[in-house]
Amino acid sequence: MTTLAAPGDAAVLPSLGYPLYDADQHYYETADALTRHLAPEYKRLIKILQTPDGRTRMVINNKLYTTNPDPTFPTVAAPGVFEQYFRSNNTEGRELAAFVGRLQESQPEYTDRDARIAKLDEQGVAATIMLPTVGVAVEGLLTDKPDALHAIIEAFNRWIEDEWGYSYQDRIISTPVLSLADPDLAVKELERVRDAGARIVVLVPGPVRAGAITRSPGNPVFDRFWATAAEAGIVVSYHTGEAGYEWVAEKWGEGAFEGLRTTPLPEIMQLHVERPIQDTIAALVGHGVFERHPALKVATIEAGSTWVLDLVRRIRNAYGKIPQKFAVDPVESFREHVWVAPFYEDDLLALKDALGIGHIIFGSDWPHPEGLPTPAAFARDAAVLSDEDRKLILSDNLKSLLQL
């Protein structure tokens, strides 16, 4: 039996007799990730600038990128340093930025796939979904230029193919980024990455925005996209990103979202995490996407799971009031088509009751500061479950979902 534990966790982590399958790990992009393969006419939209105080910032479409302080990542926060903050254990009332502490130099495993394979071996991780850091945060800055958005997305995906591949050694399963802003271009890029070997793609939750037009992802105009993914067996994942909910914050007198800053009202409303994903999955259910595409698989990553409990209640109530509006039981449809990666601080027993144990997948968010210091640390929180259920979450469910 192998103990999958970092040295500091050995006394408190349980011993596991199986490898981990992690639904949420990240790389840090190189400075040319968005531009290496970008056509010259679009390169002017992306600028890396030095501020008078010596900081490196990125401007996209004349808008400041604020999700990460320095999107070139010469130094980064250590993995998991925000853990106590996100466990709501901020007893000293510190701002989130104060949890960063001393920055560390970027490590080889953050940017190099062979170094990451070695790190996965050390972590006891058999395979992981590998997600962008910058890549999931650019769409919101380009909604007024759908053509440029899709060009930048394709260029970024080609960078992923250069640096990480879509299924490196069958262990690093990278996600190309897609947008539905232009339905035809979305299908075109989905077909391209399908042919390049993608098993899973990633979208940002929220209504689909293209200039002044907003649509539900359940609008039939996107059916060819959903059908293409379903036919290819490609999992469509949603990962927290800039979802367009700043208009809600502004209506309530709040300012724009910044990565290391928050205020009480958006935090209570969960405008940047739980609200967008709950609304998005509600739209897929309510607008019949799963009814029209019964083979479709959707995963939600780094969006937590407490929203699931309320959404299941809402869906059940709607079905009880207007059953004639649904072709199938929408609660069962949700449970059949959606997989959810909870946060480590979430109630796994309540999620099991709402979703079913077979559709819960674990994600460590390593090496991001809001994640866990080591993926195996999730086993502590999963100890409330039976050994059989814990193994499903930590290993078997994601392995099955990705057909590894």
What's the mean pLDDT in 16-43? 96
6 vs 261, more confident: 261
252 vs 300, more confident: 300
Q: What is the 3-state secondary structure (H, E, C) of 326-392?
A: CCCCHHHHHHHHEEECCCCCCCHHHHHHHHCHHHECCCCCECCCCCCCCHHHHHHHHHHCCHHHHHH
Say what the pLDDT of residue 225 is.
98
Token pair for residue 274?
A: 């739980």
Specify if 381 maps to a domain.
Answer: yes
What's the mean pLDDT in 192-207? 97
97 vs 243, more confident: 97
What's the mean pLDDT in 95-118? 92
| Whether pLDDT at 7 is above 50 | no
Produce one character per residue of 276-305: b if its CB has 16 or more CB atoms within 10 Å, e if not. Answer: bbbbbbbbbbbbbbbbebeebbbbbbbbbb
What's the mean pLDDT in 146-151? 97
Say what the pLDDT of residue 167 is.
97
Average pLDDT, the chain: 92
- Span 360-374, pLDDT tens digits: 999 999 999 999 999
Length of the chain: 404
Confidence of residue 14 (pLDDT cuts 50, 70, 90): very low
| 193 vs 166: CA distance, rounded Å | 9
Share of the chain above pLDDT 90, in %: 78
| 312 vs 85: CA distance, rounded Å | 28
| 296 vs 338: CA distance, rounded Å | 9
Sheet with 125-131, side-by-side order of all strands: 20-26, 125-131, 172-174
Specify if 56 maps to a domain.
Answer: no
Q: Is the dihedral of CA 31, 33, 35, 37 positive or negative?
A: positive
Judged by average pLDDT, the poorest of 47-56, 203-212, 244-253, 359-368 is 244-253
Specify if 343 maps to a domain.
Answer: yes
What value does the CA radius of gyration of the chain take, rounded to a whole number of Å? 20
Specify if 53 maps to a domain.
Answer: no
Say what the pLDDT of residue 259 is.
56
262 vs 314, more confident: 314
What's the mean pLDDT in 193-216? 96
Say what the pLDDT of residue 2 is.
38
52 vs 255, more confident: 52
260 vs 146, more confident: 146
| Whether pLDDT at 11 is above 70 | no
What's the mean pLDDT in 52-79? 90
- For 352, the domain range is 20-27+120-402
CATH number at residue 223: 3.20.20.140
Specify if 254 maps to a domain.
Answer: yes
| Whether pLDDT at 260 is above 70 | no
Closest CA to 241 of 214, 269, 206, 270: 206
Confidence of residue 119 (pLDDT cuts 50, 70, 90): very high
Share of the chain above pLDDT 70, in %: 95
Specify if 95 maps to a domain.
Answer: no
Number of domains forming the structure of the chain: 1
Say what the pLDDT of residue 86 is.
87
| Whether pLDDT at 15 is above 80 | no
What's the mean pLDDT in 340-349? 97
| Whether pLDDT at 165 is above 70 | yes
Specify if 32 maps to a domain.
Answer: no
Specify if 98 maps to a domain.
Answer: no
